[in-house]
Structure 1
Amino acid sequence: MSSPPSRPVALRDVAAEAGVHPSTASRALNPAMRYLVADPVAERVQEVAARLGYRPNAVALSLRTGRTRLIGALVPGIANPVFAPILAGAAEALSSVGYALMVADPGDDPGRAAEFVEQLAARSVDGLLLATASLHDDPALAACRARQIPAVLVNRGSEGIPSVVADDRGGMGLAAEHLLGLGHRRIGHVAGPAQLSTGLLRAEGFERALRAHGVEAEPSLRVVTAAYTREEGDRAAAVLIARNPDMTALACANDLLALGAYDACRRAGLRIPEEISVTGHNDMPMVDLIEPPLTTVRIPHGEMGAQAARLLLGLIGHGEEAGAVVLPSALVVRGSTAVPRSDGR
C-alpha cells in the first residue's frame, strides 16, 4: 500500500525549524518586508525555506494583502526583438520584490489591447506596463482608467500618463547629425507611425537636425510607415528610391524599417554604403551581424523595462506621483554609413 501524500510545507513549519515566530518568517520571506528582519535571521529563514521546499500560498497572500503580486504587460508584437530586453528588465525588477509578470500580445490592434486589459483586470493584476499606447484616445488606457488599474507606459509616451521612454528626438537627431557630418544632404526619411509617440518624436528630431544645418526637410524625401515592420521599411524605401534618384542616404526610424530598406536598396541595385548609406534606430539584437553591420541609435531597453517596473510598483505601493522618465540614447556607428559619392551615386 502506498503511503499517503505528505502535506505541503507551511509557513509555521519554516518558522519552527528556523526558531522564529511565524510573523518573523513571513517578513523574512517577503521581499517588500525583509528590511524589518535582521540579516542573519532573514538568511536563516530563507535557507530553511529553500531546504524544506516551502512555497508561499499565493491565494492566502492575496486575501491578506489585497494584492495578487501579478503585473500585466502589453507589447505590440512579442516576436519583435526590441521588446525582449524590455520585458527581461521588467521581469527581473519585479521578481526581486516578489512580483510576477504576465505578458499579452495584442499586436497593433488598439481594440484587442483594450480587451486584454479587461482580461488581465479579471485576473486581478496589481498594475500594467503598456508598450502599446497611441498618442490620442487609446482604448487600452481608457480601460485602465475605467478599471482604476495603475499603469505605466514603456517605450511609448502619452500626455499625463507615467512613462519611461528613450530620448527619441535626440536619438534620431544623432543619426541625422552623423549623416550630415559625412556630407549627405539628400537624405530620405523612413518615418515611424505618426500615431505613436516614437514615430512623431523621431520625425521631429530628424527634421530639427536638418534645419540646424540649413537643410530643408522636403516632403518628397519622407514616407510615413503604418507600422514598425520590415515590410513597411521595404515599401517606404522603394518609394523614396524611385522618387529621388539623387538621394544618398536613408534615415530609418526603427531597425526593422532599416532591414526593409536594405531589401529595397538591394533590389534597386544600390550598394550599402558605397552608393547609399542607411541608419536605423534601437540597436536591436544582431543588427551588428547583418552585412553591412547597421549604424543605429542604441536605446537602453533593459533599463527602460526595469525603471518602468519600479515606477509602477511605486504607484501600486505608495500612490507615488510619477511623470515621464527619459533615458539617453547613443549612436553606434558601423559599416552601413559612409561619405556620399561625389556624383551622388
Structure 2
Amino acid sequence: MKELEIGCTNKAVNERYTVQDVAKRAGVHASTVSRALNPATRHRLSEEVAARVIAAAAELGYVPNGLAASLRTRRSETIGVVLPDITNPVFPPILQGLEAVLAEERYVAMVANAGSDNDRQRLVIERLLARQVDGLVLATVTRHDAIVDQCLKAGVPLVVVNRSEADHRVSSVVSDDLRGMRLAVDHLYGLGHRRIGHLGGPQNLSTGKGRLEGFLSAARDHGLDPASSDLELASGFSREAGREAAFRLLEHAPDLTGVVVANDLLALGLYDVLAARGLSCPGHLSVVGHNDMPFVDMVSPPLTTVRIRHREMGEQAAQLLLRLVRGEAQGGVDVVLKPDLVVRASTAAPR
C-alpha cells in the first residue's frame, strides 16, 4: 500500500496516490502534472500531453490537494464573504453578483452568516483567514467597526459592500443613500404630501444614518421641517423591528399622510401596524420603502420603493477586491451606485 497523502484519493478505500504516481503513469514530469490539472496553466501544454495526464489522474482517482497548493503559492483562489443575515432578501442578489465575477476568474466564495454579534463576527473572520482566503467582502460593518481594524492588521485585501465605515480606511461599494431618500421625498411631495415622516434604521450603520440625513435634507429643501415626533428609528433592519418602531411613530404622529422608510423590511412592519389598526395604504398613509428587495412587488399593496442595484453592487465589489488581491489597486476606493425610484401602488395623493 502506498504512503498516505492528504487530498490524493483513489477509488479504492484504503489506497492513495501522489502526483509522482500520476506523472509515472502518464510518462511526464511531476510539474507537468500540476500544470495539466490546473485550468489556469493547462494552456501551456499541448492538448495531447494535457489529455494524457488528465486520463492518468482519472484512472488513479487522483484529486489535487488544494490546501497544499495554497500553502505553496500563497493563493487559495477563495474569497471570504461575511453576511449579517442570510435570510434578508437583499443579500442573495449581492452574492449572485459576487459569485458571477469570481467564477469568471476561477475563484470561489466561502460564505459565512455571522449575524450582528461582534464576537461571532471576529471568530468567523479568524476562521476564514486561517483557511487562507485571498480576500474578504464584508456586508456586516458598522460605522466604527473594530472588525475592520482586525482585517487591516492581518493585511488581508478587504472590500465592504452595501454599508461603509465612517473612517474610509477600506474600499466600499454602496448605494447613494442621499439620492435615494431625495427621490422618495420628492415623490411624496409631488403627490401633495406635506406631513411626511421617516421610519429609520440603526444609526450605527451607514445605511441608517445616511438615509436619515438624506430624508432630512430633502424635506428641508421642500420647506418642510419634520418634528422629532415625525421621526422614529428602528433597532434593526427587520420586519419585527419595523413593526415596533411603526407603532411608536403612529402613536406620536397620527396625522402623517406619508412615510419614507429606510428599508423594505421595515416597511413591511409598517404594513402590519396599519392592518392591525384598520388603516389602508395608501388611503390613510402612503409608504415608500428602500431597497426593492425581491417580492415587494407582490405584497398588498405593491410597495413603491427606492431600487438599489444589488447584483451590480456584488459585481463591483468582486472586481474591486480582485484588483486588490492582484496588487493592481490600493484600498480606500469608494464606488457609489445610483438608485432609482420604482413607483407602485403604495403611494397616492393624500386625502
Q: Give the alignment's TM-score, normalised by structure 1.
A: 0.86
- Measured at CA, do residues 252 and 50 of structure 1 come closer, stay the same or move farther in structure 2, by a change above 3 Å? farther
Alignment-mate amino acid for residue 239 of structure 1: R
Whether the aligned pair in 2 keeps the contact of 1:234 and 1:263 (CA below 8 Å) is yes
Task: State the alpha-carbon separation in 2 of the partners of residues 15 and 299 from structure 1.
Answer: 53
Deviation at 1:7, TM superposition (A): 7.1
Task: State the alpha-carbon separation in 2 of the partners of residues 211 and 4 from structure 1.
Answer: 74
Whether the aligned pair in 2 keeps the contact of 1:14 and 1:25 (CA below 8 Å) is no
Whether the aligned pair in 2 keeps the contact of 1:171 and 1:329 (CA below 8 Å) is yes
User: What RMSD over aligned residues (CA atoms) do the two structures have, in Å?
Assistant: 3.0
Whether the aligned pair in 1 keeps the contact of 2:36 and 2:54 (CA below 8 Å) is no
What is the aligned partner in structure 1 of residue 120 from structure 2? 112
What is the aligned partner in structure 2 of residue 335 from structure 1? 345
Deviation at 1:110, TM superposition (A): 2.2
Please state if 1:71 is matched with 2:79: yes
What is the aligned partner in structure 1 of residue 143 from structure 2? 135
Map 1:1-345 to 2 at 5 A.
Answer: 25=36, 29-30=39-40, 56-136=64-144, 138-158=145-165, 159-318=168-327, 320-322=329-331, 323-341=333-351
Alignment-mate amino acid for residue 164 of structure 2: G
Q: Partner of 2:326: helix, strand, or coil? A: helix
Task: State the alpha-carbon separation in 2 of the partners of residues 135 and 310 from structure 1.
Answer: 23
Deviation at 1:184, TM superposition (A): 0.8
Task: State the alpha-carbon separation in 1 of the partners of residues 237 and 55 from structure 2.
Answer: 45
Q: What is the percentage of aligned positions where both structures have the same residue?
A: 47
- Measured at CA, do residues 248 and 25 of structure 1 come closer, stay the same or move farther in structure 2, by a change above 3 Å? same
What is the aligned partner in structure 1 of residue 7 from structure 2? none
Q: Partner of 1:73: helix, strand, or coil? A: strand
- Measured at CA, do residues 211 and 50 of structure 1 come closer, stay the same or move farther in structure 2, by a change above 3 Å? farther
- Measured at CA, do residues 296 and 192 of structure 1 come closer, stay the same or move farther in structure 2, by a change above 3 Å? same
Whether the aligned pair in 2 keeps the contact of 1:192 and 1:199 (CA below 8 Å) is yes
- Measured at CA, do residues 233 and 15 of structure 1 come closer, stay the same or move farther in structure 2, by a change above 3 Å? farther
Whether the aligned pair in 2 keeps the contact of 1:77 and 1:106 (CA below 8 Å) is yes
Alignment-mate amino acid for residue 278 of structure 1: V
Whether the aligned pair in 2 keeps the contact of 1:85 and 1:305 (CA below 8 Å) is yes
Whether the aligned pair in 1 keeps the contact of 2:143 and 2:164 (CA below 8 Å) is yes
- Measured at CA, do residues 188 and 58 of structure 1 come closer, stay the same or move farther in structure 2, by a change above 3 Å? same
Alignment-mate amino acid for residue 247 of structure 1: L
Q: State the Cα deviation string for residues 16-59 of structure 1 (Å, max 9, x = none).
A: 89xxx6686467x11xx68x869xx78x969x969986865413
Deviation at 1:60, TM superposition (A): 4.1
Q: How many residue pairs end up in the alignment?
A: 330
Alignment-mate amino acid for residue 73 of structure 1: V
* Deviates most, 6-15 or 113-122: 6-15
Q: Give the alignment's TM-score, normalised by structure 2.
A: 0.85
- Measured at CA, do residues 280 and 55 of structure 1 come closer, stay the same or move farther in structure 2, by a change above 3 Å? farther
- Measured at CA, do residues 7 and 236 of structure 1 come closer, stay the same or move farther in structure 2, by a change above 3 Å? same
Deviation at 1:205, TM superposition (A): 1.2
What is the aligned partner in structure 1 of residue 6 from structure 2? none
Whether the aligned pair in 2 keeps the contact of 1:111 and 1:140 (CA below 8 Å) is no
- Measured at CA, do residues 8 and 89 of structure 1 come closer, stay the same or move farther in structure 2, by a change above 3 Å? farther
Whether the aligned pair in 1 keeps the contact of 2:261 and 2:290 (CA below 8 Å) is yes
